[in-house]
Amino acid sequence: MFNPAYASILRLVDGETIAKKSGVAIGDAIVAVNGEGFRRLAPEYDESQLEHITAAVNGISLHNNNNNNNENSGNDDEDAKKQKNRVVSENKNNDSYNLLLTKIKSIKKAADPKQPLLLSLERYGWDSKVNAWRRFLIARNGDVAAATKMMTAHTTWKHKTFPIDISDKNVQNVIQSKSVCEIDVPKNDLPPTVYVNFAKLQELDSHEGVVKAFIICTETLLARASDPRFPLTCQFIDLSNVRIASGFRVDILKQVYGAFEPNYPETLSKMVMYPVSKMVASTASMMLNFVNENTRKKFIITDNLEKVCQELGWDKKEVDEIGGITQFMHRHEK
């Protein structure tokens, strides 16, 4: 709905390509080809506010190539700008996308060193409406009105919530206790994991900083997503030394969920709760009945360490050798 382009960078091929050298990233939107616009939507920004992040390669730069393309039109920068920001009408036959591909192929086929292929790309963050709309729409089961309302409420929440004062005493208590932190496991292709040591959380004198610390950690990991269109994290709730039946502070999870569910839809890959015996698992599930059905489907409640390692991509041999989950967390926590 908010995507300004008909095509985006899906993947980057292996090797030292011009695209990689130029700083192109997955998710970048192709909005113009050699100064000719192929936009779905007109830009909502002033071009002077843009940060040009693509590096020059082999003497070719965005600035120089635009000058070459416009040399026949004199110094009429305004006309060049209009041409570059041209909006191409969308239709059911997907002709606009095909026109874009045809333009790219014709320039590559010509192989004219004086007119090399120049793709103008725009990059949007994981939480921009360009990339976030899909997630909000899924969270509201395709209901456009409900998704719009949800996204509007999220925008209001962001303005009220950020920036978060990381020096706040309550936030620092959570961060320094390592009760909420990132788990950095190398050579793991799965989404990064937010680690929650629930026993430590319950020992804190105040839980006011828990939600803020959780937001900081989640935001940090989602901002690093390799594809901003599909940002994901996993969550690991370490319930070691926590009695589900009598010592489980479900109100803490309610506070976190209250911020997470309406503001980070479709960013949870899975949440693993461990160790929880099969006998107690049903009780734990009942205590989490405030969570919506779609999110509950992503919960894994288990006492099987092998399953934990399989779901989160951890090396069970390393976990066993180091002395268990808690020691493994200490080794990889950030």
106-114's contacts with Cβ under 8 Å and 24+ in sequence apart are 107/33, 107/34, 114/68
Q: How many CA atoms lie within 13 A of 84 on its CB side?
A: 22
Which tokens belong to 80? 């060049």
Least confident stretch, 195-204, 210-219, 239-248, 257-266: 239-248
Query: Treating both helix axes as pointing N-terminal to C-terminal, what angle do 250-263 and 210-223 enclose, rounded to 10 degrees?
Result: 40
Q: What pLDDT does 60 receive?
A: 55
The mean predicted confidence, pLDDT, of the chain is 89
Strand (E) positions, the chain? 7-8, 29-33, 36-37, 119-122, 180-183, 193-197, 233-238, 268-274, 299-301
Q: What pLDDT does 191 receive?
A: 93
Sign of CA pseudo-dihedral 183, 186, 188, 190: positive
Place of tokens 């969550």: 235
Report in angstroms the alpha-carbon separations of 59 from 36, 50, 52, 55, 62.
21, 22, 16, 10, 10
Least confident stretch, 35-44, 114-123, 278-287: 278-287
Q: In the chain, what percentage of residues exceed pLDDT 70?
A: 91
Q: What is the mean pLDDT of residues 13-38?
A: 92
Q: What pLDDT does 68 receive?
A: 47
* Structure confidence at residue 41 as a pLDDT band (50, 70, 90): very high
Residue 73 pLDDT exceeds 50: no
Q: What pLDDT does 76 receive?
A: 67
What does the pLDDT look like over 239-254, one tens digit per residue? Answer: 998 887 666 788 999 9
Residue 146 pLDDT exceeds 80: yes
Residue 72 pLDDT exceeds 80: no
Q: What is the mean pLDDT of residues 312-322?
A: 94
Residue 212 pLDDT exceeds 80: yes
- pTM of the predicted model as reported, rounded to 2 decimal places: 0.87
* Structure confidence at residue 67 as a pLDDT band (50, 70, 90): very low
Pairwise pLDDT comparison (283 vs 297), residue with the higher score: 297
Q: What pLDDT does 219 receive?
A: 97
* Structure confidence at residue 285 as a pLDDT band (50, 70, 90): confident
